[in-house]
Homo-oligomer: A and B are copies of this chain.
Amino acid sequence: MSFPTTVRIFEMSPRDGLQNEPGELIPTTVKVELINRLSQCGLTHIEAASFVSPKWVPQMGDASDVMAGISRQPGVIYAALTPNMKGLEAAIEAKADEVAVFSAASEAFTRKNINCSIAESLERFAPVMETARHAGIRVRGYVSTVMGCPYQGEVDPQQVARVAKAMLEMGCYEISLGDTIGVGTPLKAKRMLEAVSKEVPIDRLAAHFHDTYGQAIANLYAVLEEGIAVVDASVAGLGGCPYAKGASGNVATEDVLYLLQGLGIETGTDLQQLINTGHWISRTLSRHNGSKVALARGDCHE
């Protein structure tokens, strides 16, 4: 057992957290304020927007305005999801510090989600990777469904390893392993990571775990033991689960930070400010706060 001394938190709430928010469009000013508040908490990596067709993800339709509106802090990376060339060009135009592409470890999920095979999904990223490289922009890769798939059920860890390796070889600087439906348990997480880390160095891997079955903190503890030092999370657990109404999605950043502090791991992030930010955005969106740490500490009402 050897934990990393520092962990980098990659904050997902402005993108992964808000993209599925039902109802009216969230005002651009709210997104901008959320991102600014998050950077004030000491978070250095924030996925700020998704440059995707507003036909598919209406909540992300103002990505360029969001990127233009934020108060950029020195040392903070404002990242954007770019599923295709058009998205990449808009992200470059909007001065995203880095971009991200995604695939999945499940053929059934890829087929259902983006209507192609995993191999085809990777091929589609080739020009995005090439253009990003020329523009000097780093690309992060997401692999979804690493511990289970809503359509095919079990997912082979070897398949996760193959997709992660392919994304690394295509030029991604880091591969974020997503338990998209939160079905993993700690030993499964360890075994999946063992398979992947044979193909991709562990310092190029991140854990993106959802808390749908209440296991995310335990799963993170298990992979931190293995040396994972980058964790994706979303303040107030913003995001929910598109596969089960009322269920949890992204693990709450506050709860992750509480775990990391308990393990003596440095993050440079202020827990109380993060709790305040989570309460603020939950109130603003009239949404249940999905962080247990935040509920335990109560709403400060600032």
Residues of B within 8 A of A221 (CB): 186, 218, 221-222
Interface membership of A180, Cβ < 8 A: no
The answer to whether B218 touches A296, judged by C-beta atoms less than 8 angstroms apart, is no
Report how many copies the assembly holds.
2
Residues of B within 8 A of A38 (CB): none
A79-114 vs B, CB cutoff 8 Å, 1 = contact: the mask equals 000000000000000000000000000000000000
Per-position contact with B for A204-247: 1 when CB-CB < 8 Å, else 0?
A: 00000001111101101110000000000000000001001111
User: Do A214 and B258 have beta carbons less than 8 Å apart?
Assistant: yes
> Which B residues touch A215, using CB under 8 A?
217, 255, 258-259, 262
A255-B297 CB under 8 A given contacts A188-B262, A292-B247 = no
A285 within 8 Å of B (CB atoms) = no
Interface size of A by CB at 8 A reads 37
Q: How far is the CB of A64 from chain B (nearest CB, A)?
A: 35
Which B residues touch A291, using CB under 8 A? 214
Closest chain B residue, CB of each to CB of A186: B221
Q: Is A182 an interface residue (CB 8 A)?
A: yes
Residues of chain B lying within 8 A (CB to CB) of residue A25 = none
A185 close to chain B: CB less than 8 A: yes
Closest Cβ of chain B to A246, distance in Å, is 5
Report Cα–Cα, A217/B209, bound state, in Å: 15
28 inter-chain pairs at a CB distance below 8 angstroms, sorted by A residue, are A185-B259, A185-B263, A186-B221, A187-B262, A187-B263, A188-B262, A211-B292, A212-B292, A212-B296, A213-B255, A213-B258, A214-B252, A214-B292, A214-B293, A215-B217, A215-B258, A215-B259, A215-B262, A217-B217, A218-B218, A218-B220, A218-B221, A218-B259, A241-B296, A244-B298, A246-B295, A247-B295, A248-B292
A residues contacting B by CB (< 8 A) are 182, 184-188, 211-215, 217-218, 220-222, 241, 244-248, 252, 255, 258-259, 261-264, 291-293, 295-298
